Amino acid sequence: MLNITEEKTISTDICIIGAGPVGLFAVFEAGLLKMRCHLVDALPQIGGQLSEIYPKKPIYDIPGYPEVLAQDLVNNLEQQIAPFHPSFTLGERVEELERLEDDSFRLQTNEGTEIYCKVVVIAGGLGCFEPRKPAIENLETYEGKGIHYIVKNPERYRGKKLVLAGGGDSALDWTLYLAELAEELTLVHRGSTFRGAPDSAAKVMALADQNKINLRLNANVTSIIGNGHLNACILSDNEKNTEVINTDYFIPLFGLSPKLGPIADWNLNLDKNAIAVHTEDYSTNIPGIYAIGDINTYPGKLKLILCGFHEAALMSHSAYRIVSGGKKPSFKYTTVNGVQTF
């Protein structure tokens, strides 16, 4: 069970930005050296690209696994790091980084959570997944006031009126899930067929046939109305007919595209949207800040999970000197020492 915290002030040895496979494995390597980790991810779940983009695809190049489904690898990593009790802030993006007088760091997320730590490890992959937004006037006015681009806490929608938009897996899966909770749910899709899994599409069509959801195909949400909070979506179909749907929430699910985001403004040496690192320990140009996984670059870099795992090991041994005030880590095989937790 993940320790997902709502706490607004956190103090830890290492703050890991990004809970993709590489950030997760870094918890294990740091844990072997008795360093505590807190992870922050902008997505509402852990697993990075594996859980967000290809959870059901098999991966063939993880050592020791002839074949493993991406989501199963994430689940196994979660189990592997559990003995080290990492804590997580999910659904929040790290925006600010400040170096304090004692050389430690203060990080702050877009929702005001502050993390105090001795070492920062950026495992941000391709960057933050930013939502693709529909072209609707005053959309920004109602962001967070009725418009959500990710479903962070489904319970929030219990007993509410919802309009969802999109035709991919995310729109279909959330329609099936939220139809059970919502007072009324309308799914709007600009096409006549869905791009998502045929099985999910069939289930959505069945819900519409049973009048458990309203389905509007060949239609778009073209404008929104509100008064401080969203009140209604206005739909237009291909024949230019319009319809007003009263709603508490509008959730456009048009996919996410990765952007380096705020990390680009932290004075790190960048090379084509990736962070340049030293290959002996994956440190950046700023002492105390490391970058591992897809987000870093160096001569010969391969954007592979196994390369990120190796980087996590070397980073941890280097970070230990900072966390422990200059001590050298003692290197022991896990087969000799076991996994000693704290």
Ligand X SMILES: Cc1cc2nc3c(=O)[nH]c(=O)nc-3n(C[C@H](O)[C@H](O)[C@H](O)COP(=O)(O)OP(=O)(O)OC[C@H]3O[C@@H](n4cnc5c(N)ncnc54)[C@H](O)[C@@H]3O)c2cc1C
Binding site for ligand X (CB under 6 A): 17-23, 40-43, 48-50, 53-54, 59, 61, 93-94, 123-129, 261-263, 293-294, 303-306, 308
Count Cα atoms within 13 angstroms, Cβ side, for 114: 6
- Considering just the CA atoms, what is the radius of gyration of the chain in Å? 22
The residue sitting closest to ligand X, measured at its beta carbon, is: 125
Between residues 51 and 220, which has the closer beta carbon with respect to ligand X?
A: 51
User: 338: exposed, middle or buried (C-beta count within 10 Å: 0-12, 13-18, 19+)?
Assistant: exposed
CB of 163 to ligand X, least distance (A): 26
Between residues 20 and 31, which has the closer beta carbon with respect to ligand X?
A: 20
Between residues 31 and 48, which has the closer beta carbon with respect to ligand X?
A: 48
CB of 265 to ligand X, least distance (A): 11
- Strand arrangement, sheet containing 274-276: 270-271, 274-276, 296-297
CB of 25 to ligand X, least distance (A): 8
| Tokens standing for residue 253 | 């699910």
The whole-angstrom separation of Cα 178 and Cα 64 is: 39
DSSP H or E run through 39: strand 37-41
CB of 295 to ligand X, least distance (A): 6
Question: Does residue 72 sit in helix, strand or coil?
Answer: helix
Residue appearing with tokens 């996919």: 255
The whole-angstrom separation of Cα 196 and Cα 177 is: 15
Task: Of 216, 172, 215, 176, give the one whose Cα is nearest residue 195.
Answer: 172
Between residues 44 and 226, which has the closer beta carbon with respect to ligand X?
A: 44
Residue 290's CB is within 10 A of a number of other CB atoms, namely 30
DSSP H or E run through 79: helix 70-81
CB of 66 to ligand X, least distance (A): 13
Between residues 42 and 233, which has the closer beta carbon with respect to ligand X?
A: 42
Between residues 44 and 83, which has the closer beta carbon with respect to ligand X?
A: 44
